[in-house]
Amino acid sequence: MTSASRGAPDVRTSHERAQDRSVIVGPSRRAPRLVAAALVAAALVGGCARADAPPSAAAPVPTATTPPRTTTPSPTTTPPAPTPSRAQAAVDAIAPAERERRSVTLGVAVLDRTTGQITTNSEGDTPLRAASVAKLFTVVDVLTRRAAGEATVTPADEQRIRRALSLSDDEAMNGLYSRFGGPEGIQRVAALLGLARTSPPARVGQWGEVETSARDVATLYRFVLTQLPPPDRDLVLSSLEAAPETAADGFDQGFGLLDPARRGSAAAKQGWLCCLESSIDLHSTGLPDAEGRYVVVLLSNQPRGYDAARTVLDDAAGAARDALAS
């Protein structure tokens, strides 16, 4: 453009001049607003991005820590002492029964299973004929030898043992006595248990004439209860507990500890023998209660007359039961 043209007058209309100003001025005014809008939009977009972003991992919630428990040992408890033995009271209570008849020898022994002690009366060490109580000695010999591997016991032998102890079967005893050594078996048991008053019969084969004392029989029961293998002990006790009122030979076994009026769960071996030296031997031995604390042994030699002799043992056993239960 020449200087002449710069100085020439503006011949455009006012409308045209206004349009020129809008073209020149317009953009300069709107730019700041566009920049501001862009900044606001960016701020909003940034805000949305922050709102949608996953939250930062929360700090772990502290858990209550239970301190380890300290176990306070419980105080050592001493088992209660057993109640005082009633054995002597039982022996004393039996004494009047012995005086019911004249010329009666009554050997008494009471074993306290808790203490292992045996208490006797004045005749407790007197040797008397064992009668069928001898069967228990032979059975203990047989079972002890089996446990030691020294003897073979067949099922038939076990059946003989059951019959000898429950039914007091003499034929069963004869089979055991002859098969397992007879008098030698009695000697073996006496030596094993230190039975000072037990000896084989003087006459061959007469096992009913084995001699023993009330103390020795109580010692034999203690061995059965504490030393025999459990199956053998149970065989003996179950056989005694199963004794019927009538024995294999028809004799009434319901006297003494097996008196039907007070028998309960008694496990007992009875014995009877007549009529050597014009007297009878009548015995009742065993546990008044199969699960109880005591063993009672009553061995008697009495004048003839089984009914009167039974009464003596019924009264003696009843007095013992009452004293032991007190």
d(C-alpha 255, C-alpha 226), whole Å: 27
d(C-alpha 291, C-alpha 238), whole Å: 12
Sign, Cα dihedral of 2, 3, 6, 7: negative
**Residue 286 β-bridge partners:** 268, 296
d(C-alpha 218, C-alpha 198), whole Å: 12
In terms of residues, how long is the chain? 326
User: Looking at residue 246, what DSSP letter applies?
Assistant: B
Residue 2, pLDDT score? 38
Residue 57, pLDDT score? 43
- Asked if residue 294 lies in contact with residue 87, where contact means CB atoms within 8 angstroms, the answer is yes
Q: Tokens in use for 90? A: 């039982």
User: In Å, what is the CA distance from 16 to each residue of 1, 8, 29, 30, 309?
Assistant: 20, 17, 20, 21, 163
Residue 239, pLDDT score? 98
- Asked if residue 199 lies in contact with residue 214, where contact means CB atoms within 8 angstroms, the answer is no
Element (H, E) at 116: none
CA diameter of the chain: 188
User: In Å, what is the CA distance from 39 to each residue of 49, 51, 243?
Assistant: 15, 18, 115
Q: Tokens in use for 277? A: 């030296």
Residue 68, pLDDT score? 53
Residue 315, pLDDT score? 98
- In three-state secondary structure terms, 292 is coil
- Cβ–Cβ contacts within 10 Å for residue 39, how many? 10
d(C-alpha 293, C-alpha 202), whole Å: 36
Burial class (CB in 10 A: 0-12, 13-18, 19+), 76: exposed
d(C-alpha 214, C-alpha 220), whole Å: 10
Per-residue pLDDT of the chain (326 residues; tens, 9 = 90+): 433 444 444 434 444 444 444 433 344 444 444 334 443 344 433 443 333 444 444 444 444 444 454 555 555 666 677 689 999 999 999 999 999 999 999 999 999 999 999 999 999 999 999 999 999 999 999 999 999 999 999 999 999 999 999 999 999 999 999 999 999 999 999 999 999 999 999 999 999 999 999 999 999 999 999 999 999 999 999 999 999 999 999 999 999 999 999 999 999 999 999 999 899 999 999 999 988 999 999 999 999 999 999 999 999 999 999 999 98
d(C-alpha 32, C-alpha 194), whole Å: 129
Residue 79, pLDDT score? 67
Amino acid (one-letter) located at 253: Q
7 contact partners, CB below 8 Å, separation of at least 6: none
The pTM (predicted TM-score) of the whole model is 0.76
